Each structure stands twice: as C-alpha cells, then as structure tokens.
C-alpha cells in the first residue's frame, strides 16, 4: 500500500521491520514491484529533463544498492 501511494521509504521501513519468518512471496513481490515502478518514474523524469548523468547513476544503483535487476521498461 505504501509503495503504491508513492511512499517507498515507508514501504521499505515496513519491509525491513517485518520478521523474516513473516516475509512471504507476496511481501517480496510487493516491495520489488514498488521499487521497480519508482525507478521507472525516476529514470523517465531524468530522461525528460536532460539529466543523463543522474539517470546513469540511478540506473547503476538499482542492482548495486537496491538489489533490483533492470527490466525492459528501465532501459526505455
């Protein structure tokens, strides 16, 4: 819910505070989906505003910092 409402920091906080034995496939899918949508929006904004270097740094941080593998929509 938090990720869909644009509050990815709160969504990550809830995810991190959830005990490992309570983390289901649904919870992992929810947080990954929220992160992917956030990255698509940020990369799109960088592209529309000519912020190529910022977009490249953000793209590179997806996997190295956040563990999100880029998909086709991230390359577009």
In a domain, 35, yes or no: yes
Burial 4-39 (b: 16+ CB within 10 A, else e): eeeebeebbebbeeeeeeeeeeeeeebbbebbbebb
Give this prediction's pTM.
Answer: 0.68
Most confident of the ranges 3-7, 9-13, 30-34, 36-40: 9-13
Q: Which residues contact 38 (CB under 8 A, 6 or more apart)?
A: 3, 8
Residue 43 resides in a domain: yes
Do 36 and 58 form a contact (C-beta atoms < 8 A)?
no
Output the pLDDT for position 5: 81
Indicate if the pLDDT at residue 16 is higher than 90: yes
User: Domain limits at 16?
Assistant: 8-75
45 located within any domain? yes
- Whether 8 has a pLDDT exceeding 90, the answer reads no
């Amino acid at each position: 819910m938090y990720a869909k409402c644009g509050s990815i920091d709160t969504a990550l906080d809830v995810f991190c505070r959830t005990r490992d034995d309570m983390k289901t496939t649904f919870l992992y899918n929810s947080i990954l989906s929220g992160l992917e949508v956030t990255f698509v929006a940020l990369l799109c904004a960088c592209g529309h505003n000519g912020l190529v270097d910022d977009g490249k740094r953000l793209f590179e941080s997806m996997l190295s910092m956040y563990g999100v593998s880029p998909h086709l929509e991230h390359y577009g």
